[in-house]
Structure 1
Amino acid sequence: MADTFTIKQGDTSPALARVLETAQGPIPLEVGDRVTFSMRRPYGGPVIVDRQPCQIREGNVVVYFWHDRDTAVPGLHEGEFQITRADGSIETVPNGGYLVVNVVETVA
């Protein structure tokens, strides 16, 4: 089952917080690692969030803080995190699909 995050159209809260993991378990993050978040419309649609920086918090929690333009378009979106290690190696999570971001349309 895909991981789904739901937020209302135009909202900037709550932030998107995740412990990044693969089928082998949580991914340890090290000092010097950088994590970004990207999101697009499904099936190769336009990119809405393009490699925006995330905070790395204690316990390997990664947090992306939304901008109002990120949630302007209602519907399902595909998201992913990219870890760039201090040595330059790159890992994308999830590596077997996407995080589903459901932007729910507002009433007015």
Structure 2
Amino acid sequence: MTKVTLKRGDTRTAIRATLLSNNGTPVDLAEASVRFLVADFRGTPIISRAVEIEDAAEGKVLFVPEPGETSTAGTFRGEFEATFEDGRVETYPNDGYISIEILPDLG
């Protein structure tokens, strides 16, 4: 599982990921759309929006937080959800979650 740590209010740190299939190869995201989903451990959604696909053939995506998305300190779970041209959906990582820790800031 991947872990991302940032401070409350930070919007500069991007989350880059390569989406991998069950056999470990990059997922071809041509003609797909991808969302980044973040929730607390009770399942309350924190973030749910589209991300940038940096390299479709290599399965590379980029999420840059927007103001307000990192305003709550805590530990959260994240995942990328890809919707393909045929309407099928797959979630990555498919063997767990991305651990996201937002630390309190001092200011």
- Structure 2-normalised TM-score? 0.89
Q: Which has the higher helix share?
A: 1
SS for the counterpart of 1:68 is coil
Letter paired with 2:47: V
SS for the counterpart of 1:30 is coil
Residue 37 of structure 1 and its aligned partner are, at CA, apart by 0.3
From 43, 50, 53, the counterpart of 1:53: 50
Check conservation: 2:20, 2:59, Cα contact below 8 A. no
Q: Residues 40-94 of structure 1: CA distance to partner in whole angstroms, max 9, x if unpaired?
A: 11132x21102x1111112321001101211111111010100101111100111
Q: Gapped runs of 5+ residues in structure 2?
A: none
Count of aligned pairs: 105
Check conservation: 1:78, 1:100, Cα contact below 8 A. yes
Q: Which runs of 4+ in 1 moved over 3 A?
A: none
RMSD between superposed Cα atoms in Å? 1.4
Q: Tell me the equivalent position of 1:76.
A: 75
Alignment of 1:9-88 (within 5 A): 9-44=8-43, 46-50=44-48, 52-58=49-55, 59-88=58-87
- Structure 1-normalised TM-score? 0.88
Check conservation: 1:7, 1:103, Cα contact below 8 A. yes
Residue 23 of structure 1 and its aligned partner are, at CA, apart by 4.5
Distance 2:99 2:31 in 1: 28
Residue 96 of structure 1 and its aligned partner are, at CA, apart by 2.2
Distance 2:59 2:90 in 1: 15
Distance 2:46 2:3 in 1: 17
SS for the counterpart of 1:26 is coil
Check conservation: 1:19, 1:26, Cα contact below 8 A. no
